Homo-oligomer: A and B are copies of this chain.
């Protein structure tokens, strides 16, 4: 593995289509033998959350409502879909034998993609460590993400 040829993906979006794209690229990179990192921040955090999470404060609870449900409940970006919902996107993908987000997440982990939760996002949204799925790295900040990025050939912001 070329230590300067990795791939780092910053996942800020919580939209299904963008999270889907992020995992597709990460899996392609890992399958090609590249060191692959995903840094989940802001709305992207929900892709690595377990279901039904709420923060303790009013704000945390409201954010929790938005983030509830883990990766299999993520909706598509509403405005590119013109009201066509998650169910339709899923059905289309199923009709065409495209993996679900949950399968993509599992495949990424099996291929050794490193999942980095953004610590600041967790604090602001009041998401506790135990709310994240097993297998993610310790929550970290921008500095740690940039270290990985500095040995990557491409860094994407999604």
Contacts and interface: CB of A to CB of B under 8 A. Distances in A.
Given A142-B25, A143-B28, A96 B80 contact: no
A10 interface: yes
A152 to B, nearest CB: 7
A48 interface: no
Interface in A99-142: 120, 123-125, 141-142
Q: Please give the count of copies of this chain that the complex contains.
A: 3
B80 A43 contact: yes
A81 to B, nearest CB: 8
A125 to B, nearest CB: 8
A91 to B, nearest CB: 7
A142 B79 contact: no
Nearest to A153: B150
Nearest to A93: B124
Given A21-B41, A42-B17, A154-B155, A124 B146 contact: no
A137 to B, nearest CB: 17
